[in-house]
Amino acid sequence: MKSQRPVNLDLRTIKLPITAYTSILHRVSGVILFIGIAVLLAALDASLSSEEGFERVQGYFGNPLAKLVVWALLSALLYHLVAGIRHLVMDAGYGETLEGGKRGSKIVLILSAVLIILAGVWVW
């Protein structure tokens, strides 16, 4: 049996809606948080082990690369938080339509961008 359906495997030509991008970013930010928690717990363990360990961890966080990692983790946390609140609002029955979903996605992206910029200012 031959299927007459068109096959489009060129990912550069597929146009996803904004709601798909916010959903994908929500999942990616969750994975980043899952991995980042292990890194932060290791730093916490080292800082609580001794006074020298605390000074060593404090020295690491003075490094610009470590500040970038902390900012990335804060960015993932903030995006995941804002997108999660959007999901809670949708569970309450608001923004479930196609237009409401698009509007909610735009709000999530704008609010997250503002919070991420503020977190970057705070980290540096």
Give pLDDT, residue 1: 62
Percent of the chain with pLDDT over 90: 85
Q: Compute the C-alpha angle 85/68/33, nearest 5°.
A: 35
**Hey, what amino acid is at 15?**
K
Whole-prediction pTM value? Answer: 0.86
For the chain, the three-class secondary structure string (H helix, E strand, C coil) is: CCCCCCCCCCCCCCCCCHHHHHHHHHHHHHHHHHHHHHHHHHHHHHHHHCHHHHHHHHHHCCCHHHHHHHHHHHHHHHHHHHHHHHHHHHHCCCCCCHHHHHHHHHHHHHHHHHHHHHHHHHHC
> What is the C-alpha to C-alpha distance for residues 110 and 96, in angstroms, rounded to an integer?
19
pLDDT digits 0-9 by tens, 54-84: 999 999 999 999 999 999 999 999 999 999 9
